[in-house]
Amino acid sequence: MFNNFILIMEITAVYRCFLLLLLLCIVLNCRGCMDEERDALLQIKTSINSPDGTAFSSWFGEDCCQWEGVECDASTTHVSRILFQHQRDQSLLENWYPNATLFAQFRDLKELELPGNRIEGFTSPDELQKLKHLQRLNLHDNSIENASHLCWGRGQLPSLYSLDLSNNQLKGYLPECLRGALSLTELIVSHNYLQGNISAWLSNMTSLTLLDLSNNQFSGSFPSFLVQSLTNIETLKLSTNQFKGRVSFSSFANLSKLSSLDISYNAHLQLETESPTWFPSFNLTVLSLSGCNLRNIPSFVFTQNHLNSLDLSDNNLSGPFPRTFRNISSQLASLDISNNSFNGPLPEDINLIFPELLFLDASLNVFRGGIPPSFCRLKRLHTLILSGNKLRGAIPYLLTSNMSSLEYLHLSNNNLGGDALPKIQPKLKVLDLGRNDFTGTFQDSLSRSFSQSLAFPQLRVLILSGNRLQGQIPQQLCRMRRLSVLDLSNNNLSGNIPNCIDNITSWTAVDQSRAVHIYFITALDLSCNRLTGSIPLQITQLKAIIALNMSHNLLTGQIPASLGNLEALEALDLSHNKLFGELSQELTALIFLGFFDVSFNNLSGATPQGNQFNTFQNASYVGNPGLCGFPLERKCGPDIRKQSHVMSNMARTYSLLFHCAFLILVVNVSFLFSIV
């Protein structure tokens, strides 16, 4: 009886807890986000790519707190963070004007990040002032020209501490409306078109810990008053502007919290690093003084024992590799001394000087001798750039062995020799050995490398131009499926172009994001060799290729009409070969073509007309006596145009017959497989 009583009491307690939880769910709205906030998000989604509304196809369900790019406060279920990056369809002609009234619905919003959406402005921008809890506003990488209504001072957004308007189209002076934004700790307006003197009121923003004014057109005297006032500053970037006059580094002396400083590329600025005598109170982790007309390395650099990144490139520094570098922090991970006049041998003990080095650029100097074995002992090194020196000898075996961490190796414009393709470890993404003195047969060199690697699975860029390689282009090259750039120009290669070239999938699959990310370049350069045979039809499958150069060879046959299928092609050079026949009108489908050269062949008939072909000059066709039509002086007679029309119709007929035959073959094969 007593046990039953206890059981009843336990059930009652559980029931009461359930009722309490149910009541809490009603009060806190356990369904997820608020109805009005969900509706606002759906309207924003629709407007991003209006009228299609194709953004955020992953949004499903009623709980918007679970949607991509949306975060909610766990205790209130109100939207607290919105991150919509690169959602605007780049093919749309017009920029986006979001309705600020919709964003004003999120009264508890703390972070609003809308980078890369081609925003030119907001409709009803004053509505954003209702976001009293907003702490971070990120409008990076948009198209905003006038920010006067997108920044707030005088307490209108009292919680805002971070404002990022970088990489927009801002013009004129620094927005005056920032004058009262004294609570800001981060202000980023880099990569715009701002100009004029730095406003004096900026020195009143003493809460700033990060100030980035780089890559603008600011001019006038260097703002020393600003440097001396911002005593809380930790990161200061003033590079790539037009400041002028003389400035002493002593003005930075009292910035005890300064950890990152970049004043590079102010061409008219004269830095005084030693006088008057001064002692830094800061300990930097990042220092960039590139393009500062330095003739000596500032002595204070050698007091910075926490340096992680040092950039002294594009100066007038000379002499041997500085032994004083031994006094810099052993934690240095990035060192750039490129484009100076350093000379002599590379250090034999660089692994002891900088054991943690990840990135080293010593290109465009006058270093001589070989690459010391000590470079092979930099276990963490992933980028090595020694191009444009006077280095000799072979590439050290261990530098590219499986023990190496190298991903990017640039050794072009030296006098290096030996095997053009050393034993390459599978992590390597870029190998640039162009304009050296590598010899031997390309086939043998590649075979030796393949014995050590599974077809270079990560290799994106291979540049072997300007050497003395001989023999045929090996079929193994087609196994480099991720290759984006291949440059074999200016060698002594012979034989046919491999017909497996379309196995390189990075050249056949069009990447729509290339319009956004300019670093996705695809190119094939086989020029200035002794290649023979015809242009393989497999090349016409390289729909992602941007630049194609097969000039200055011994190629014969006709130019395939199906080259018109290369929809991404921007440059095509087939000049100085032995190609014959007519140029197909189908080439005019190359609507992005900006460079075209078929000069000095044996081509005949009418030149293609329409689209980009109306922009090319005589130089594109010279050396083909049989060609006629614009832009050439030789006009096409009616017989030639009629003949071209007949040949075009015949080509279409044969193409249709081929596709019909191919379709019948596919149907029959499918039928046979279905029986099996």
User: Mean pLDDT over residues 22-32, rounded?
Assistant: 45
Q: Assess if residue 329 is contained within a domain.
A: no
Q: Which of 14-23, 98-107, 335-344, 459-468 has the lowest mean pLDDT?
A: 14-23
Q: From CA 226, how far away is CA 243, in angstroms rounded? A: 13
Reply yes or no on whether the pLDDT at 18 is more than 60: no
Structure tokens at 630: 């614009």
**Tens digits of per-residue pLDDT, 428-481?**
899 999 999 999 898 887 777 665 555 678 899 999 999 999 999 998 899 888
Q: Assess if residue 14 is contained within a domain.
A: yes
Question: What one-letter code names the amino acid at 358?
Answer: L
Reply yes or no on whether the pLDDT at 335 is more than 80: yes
Residue 346: name the closest of 411, 397, 285 by CA: 411
Reply yes or no on whether the pLDDT at 540 is more than 90: yes
Q: What are phi and psi of 245, to 5 degrees?
A: 95, -175
Cis peptide before 426 (omega within 30 of 0): no
User: Mean pLDDT over residues 572-590, rounded?
Assistant: 97
Q: What is the 3-state secondary structure (H, E, C) of 400-448?
A: HCCCCCCCEEECCCCEECCCCCCCCCCCCCEEECCCCCCEEEHHHHHHH
3-state DSSP assignment of residue 550? coil
CA–CA distances in Å: residue 618 to residues 79, 237, 581, 647:
62, 49, 18, 24
For residue 109, the model assigns a pLDDT of: 97
Q: From CA 180, how far away is CA 178, in angstroms rounded? A: 6
Q: Assess if residue 8 is contained within a domain.
A: yes
Q: Assess if residue 556 is contained within a domain.
A: no
% residues pLDDT > 70 (the chain):
85
Q: What secondary structure letter does DSSP report for 554?
A: -
Q: What secondary structure letter does DSSP report for 652?
A: H
pLDDT grade, residue 655 (50/70/90)? very low
Structure tokens at 436: 């050296």
Kind of pairing, strands 390-393 and 242-248?
unpaired
For residue 125, the model assigns a pLDDT of: 87
For residue 307, the model assigns a pLDDT of: 95
Reply yes or no on whether the pLDDT at 360 is more than 80: yes
Kind of pairing, strands 136-138 and 162-164?
parallel
Q: Assess if residue 588 is contained within a domain.
A: no
Structure tokens at 148: 């006067």
Q: From CA 652, how far away is CA 646, in angstroms rounded? A: 10
DSSP assignment of 439-507, as one string? EEEHHHHHHHHHTTSSS-TT--EEE--SSEEEEEPPGGGGG-TT--EEE--SSEEEEPPPTTGGG-HHH
Reply yes or no on whether the pLDDT at 542 is more than 50: yes
CA–CA distances in Å: residue 212 to residues 190, 206, 209, 505:
6, 15, 10, 41
* Angle, CA 392 vertex, CA 391 and CA 395 arms, to 5°: 95
% residues pLDDT > 90 (the chain):
66
Q: Assess if residue 57 is contained within a domain.
A: no
Q: From CA 363, how far away is CA 369, in angstroms rounded? A: 14
Q: What are phi and psi of 664, to 5 degrees?
A: -60, -40
- For residue 545, the Cα-to-chain-centroid distance in whole angstroms is 17
Contacts of 536 (CB under 8 A, 6+ apart): 496, 497, 498, 499, 501
Question: How many folded domains does the chain comprise?
Answer: 1
Range of the domain at 17: 2-30
Q: From CA 617, how far away is CA 5, in angstroms rounded? A: 101
Q: Assess if residue 451 is contained within a domain.
A: no
Q: Assess if residue 21 is contained within a domain.
A: yes
For residue 274, the model assigns a pLDDT of: 84
